[in-house]
Amino acid sequence: MTNEEFSQLAAKPRHIGIIMDGNGRWAKKRALPRSVGHKFGARTFRAIAEYCIKLDIEVVTFFAFSTENWKRPKEEVDGIMQLFIEYLQDSFNRKGMQNMRVRFLGDRAPLSDEAKALMKNVEQETAEYKNQLNIAINYGSHDELVTAFNKLNGKKAEISAQDISEALYTHGQPDVDLLVRTGGEQRISNFLLWQSAYAELYFTDTLWPDFKEKDLDQALTFFAHRQRRFGAAE
Ligand code: IPE
Ligand code: IPE
Ligand code: MG
């Protein structure tokens, strides 16, 4: 949709979370290795991130790799990490990517030194931008909450909901308004559990490499038609 059409929607999400699922099945349907699915998935990620920038979405979070995804064959994990490094390396050469403040959600300790250095670089280089692009890598909500509780442990007699929000990777950002999952599964898979407490959920059978701007438009239109009550009557 055009920016004008977007601005005319009855309601707009401040924060969109996206579970990019279905790369493996996309490849399987074509008798290709799963790695090819991830490669095309990475292309979709770039295109949709740029579209979110164009629409001036305040925060968008992409789930790239979960704390549970280490269970996959080493070759597949290495391939995903390599795609991540390639994205970091050329993100500055792509104009669209320069206009968002990038933040990485997750425990980066097990990532390679090369990835860690690039991540730091990208975060520093984009620090001045207003709109935010979160990339969840080695991210799991349980891990995030355990880390947050340990950070808060012993610091205060009583911990508030705000203390917890501020100890999460998403500190300072609004909660998720719209959670999109591609690939047909209707589950959260340990993604932004705290932050999605009142998110509108949008599931589509479209496999992530096939997801286009018009598919995000459908999710945005769905969101605009929801009546959010947050527990109140009407
Ligand atoms: C999502 O696609 C990408 C990651 C989890 C890294 P999948 O690889 O899970 O694709 P399917 O679900 O097997 O089709
Ligand atoms: C969720 O997808 C994780 C990412 C998209 C990075 P999975 O494919 O790992 O989720 P499950 O295993 O189907 O729940
Ligand atoms: Mg999957």
Task: Summarize pLDDT for 125-149 with one digit per residue, the tens.
Answer: 899 999 999 999 999 999 999 999 9
pLDDT of 234 reads 79
Give 203's strand partners.
181
Q: Which residue has the tokens 């349907």?
A: 29
Ligand nearest to the CA of 38: 1
Distance 185 CA to ligand 2 centre (A): 9
Q: Is the CB of 209 under 6 A from ligand 1?
A: no
pLDDT in tens, 1-46: 999 999 999 999 999 999 999 999 999 999 999 999 999 999 999 9
Residue whose Cα lies nearest atom 8 of ligand 2: it is: 21
pLDDT mean over 102-118: 96
How far is residue 207's CA from residue 24's CA, in Å, rounded to a whole number?
A: 9
Q: What is the CA radius of gyration of the chain?
A: 18
Residue whose Cα lies nearest atom 14 of ligand 2: it is: 189
Q: Is the CB of 79 under 6 A from ligand 1?
A: no
pLDDT of 92 reads 60
Q: What stretches of the chain adopt beta strand conformation (E)?
A: 15-19, 59-66, 101-105, 132-139, 178-181, 200-203
pLDDT at 98 over 70: no
Ligand nearest to the CA of 83: 1
pLDDT at 108 over 60: yes
Mutate to test the pocket of ligand 1, among 20, 23, 28, 206 (most ligand atoms within 8 A of CB): 23
pLDDT in tens, 161-176: 999 999 999 999 999 9
Angle between helices 213-224 and 34-55 in degrees, nearest 10: 60
Asked if 135 and 64 touch (Cβ cutoff 8 Å), the reply is: yes
pLDDT of 90 reads 81
Distance 22 CA to ligand 1 centre (A): 5
Residue whose Cα lies nearest atom 13 of ligand 1: it is: 24
Residue whose Cα lies nearest atom 6 of ligand 1: it is: 65
pLDDT of 139 reads 98
Asked if 217 and 7 touch (Cβ cutoff 8 Å), the reply is: no
Asked if 107 and 77 touch (Cβ cutoff 8 Å), the reply is: no
Residue whose Cα lies nearest atom 9 of ligand 2: it is: 69
Q: What amino acid positions are annotated as catalytic residues? A: 21, 69
How far is residue 116's CA from residue 183's CA, in Å, rounded to a whole number?
A: 29
Token code pair at residue 184: 């047909």
Task: List pocket residues of ligand 2, CB cut-off 6 Å.
Answer: 19-21, 63-66, 69, 185, 187, 189
Alpha carbons within 13 A on the beta-carbon side of 23:
21
Give the nearest ligand 2 atom to 21 CA: 5
Token code pair at residue 189: 């898979």
* pTM more than 0.95: yes
